[in-house]
Amino acid sequence: MPSRDNVHVLVARYLRDNGYKNTLEAFKEELGLEDDMIPSDHSITLESIIEQKRLFDLSRELEAVTVADDEDKWHVPYPAFKSILPKQSPESNILFVSVANLSIPASTDDPSSGFPARPCILTSSADRSLRIFDFYTLELLRVHTHLHASPILSFLVFNESTLLTGGMDGRLVVSNPATGDIIAQLNDHQKYLVRIACSRDMKYVATAGYDKKVNAYSIENLGSDESNFAFAKIGTISFPTNPEAILFATTEGENESESTTPRLIVSRRDSTFLYYYKLFPVLSEAARHNLNPDGTSWVSFCAMDMSLDPVDHKFLVVATSTVPQMRFMMLQSRSDQILKNVSTKAPQDAYSSARICWRPNGTGFWCNGDDGIIRGIELSTGNVVAELKHHDGKVKAMFAGIVEGREVLVTGGFDKTIAVWELEKR
């Protein structure tokens, strides 16, 4: 008699137990099985084998992110010493911050005067201004108030002399941050342009607006002169609710060309799904992944922010709109397998803007909160291991990265202040 773990016996037992009588009879005749050769022992089933295989695959995935040594834990030291940027007049709520190398001329009277690129802090605020500070001296270098007719909600430094900004006027503006000259602009959104994303290879740009649309473009820069910067529209995605977060990620495609072309990931209000779009041959949905761990369709949250891990770019961390405390989820960028689902303990309400920033070494991330506290979350455990306290009220804007080999964090809030956090005192 065949053993109970014989492949043919397992298949026959599965067919019998699930009522596939005709298929079972044909299977028995094909293999010469008798009824007494198919035991009733259910200690090993096809379902249990598949479940064991699923758990094995999950354990292999978690090996990359499960704490094994001290080096996998939250890295110490971390940015904890703050410097406060000088307050500007008029004082306004801070909407967005970033740090990047910019070519700022030595003289405002002579924009062509040479000056090597230097680290700069860029901020936008509710008074419509875009301000640029020297990272080291905190000196105010430039103030641009003419780029948009309303406040700038998001921006992206494309290179040392090219800046992309999106405003409440719905426009995407390309400008030279040193001179303020507008190079190009698009008017494809009818309401707030809330997000700008760029692919890692700098070939594609996407914008998300509160007109319930996401637009995708390829970048056409015809030469070294940034004045040739132009967009070619790939397509528009229309949603029933407002998009909240967009991100480009390279995923495994069906063929070599697809695997090298990034896909656009989108989240939207009143949906627990992440939507994956391929750019070519037309902008179209390729997959959707449900972030609800129960797999149900009822809505309890949405993804408000997304970020790829800075080391391998394989893991996606999501900050949710969950009330009363933000949760973070981690999954593979091409999978709906939720690897972590933990509360950040950061308070928020239905009107909050959850933000999340990876530490450059990938050992954890920072998240904002309505109580003004910046929380450091250790990725391996999901525990809150650091708290940075300065802001009085909601923190709206965060940037985390490396500036000339030094880890930094920049935060801005509705208390109208901007804090620069570093590893050591200045």
| 377-426 per-position pLDDT tens digit | 999 899 999 999 999 989 999 999 999 999 999 999 999 999 999 999 98
In a domain, 2, yes or no: no
* 241 and 351, same domain (yes or no): yes
- 11 burial level (CB within 10 Å; 0-12, 13-18, 19+): middle
More confidently predicted of 151 and 225: 151
* 181 and 208, same domain (yes or no): yes
More confidently predicted of 295 and 209: 209
pLDDT of residue 106: 60
Least confident of 20-24, 220-224, 262-266, 317-321: 220-224
The mean predicted confidence, pLDDT, of the chain is: 86
* 28 and 159, same domain (yes or no): no
pLDDT of residue 51: 58
Tokens of 318: 């999501």
- 351 burial level (CB within 10 Å; 0-12, 13-18, 19+): exposed
pLDDT of residue 59: 52
Q: The domain containing residue 58 runs over which residues?
A: 7-62
pLDDT of residue 153: 97
Is the preceding omega at residue 281 within 30 degrees of 0, hence cis? Answer: yes
**At which of 21, 43, 62 does a domain end?**
62
* 368 and 406, same domain (yes or no): yes
Specify the number of domains making up the chain. 2
| 332-389 per-position pLDDT tens digit | 877 778 899 999 999 999 899 999 999 999 999 999 999 999 999 999 899 999 999 9
In a domain, 164, yes or no: yes
pLDDT at 179 over 60: yes
Residue 74: give its domain's CATH number.
2.130.10.10
- 202 burial level (CB within 10 Å; 0-12, 13-18, 19+): exposed
* 20 and 78, same domain (yes or no): no
Q: What is the arithmetic mean of pLDDT over 177-188?
A: 94
Rounded Cα distance between 172 and 269, Å, is 22
pLDDT at 249 over 80: yes
Percentage helix, strand, coil for the chain under 3-state DSSP, each rounded to 5: 10, 45, 45
* 56 and 109, same domain (yes or no): no
Cα atoms in the 13 Å half-sphere on the side-chain side of 388: 27
* 129 and 41, same domain (yes or no): no
Identity of the amino acid at 47:
E
Q: Sheet containing 384-389: which strands, arranged edge to edge?
A: 356-358, 364-367, 373-378, 384-389
In a domain, 1, yes or no: no
Contacts of 58 (CB under 8 A, 6+ apart): 337, 339
Tokens of 300: 């309890």
pLDDT of residue 61: 52
* 81 and 212, same domain (yes or no): yes
User: For residue 225, what pLDDT band results from cuts at 50, 70 and 90?
Assistant: low
Rounded Cα distance between 129 and 93, Å, is 11
| 81-116 per-position pLDDT tens digit | 999 999 877 889 999 999 999 998 765 555 555 568
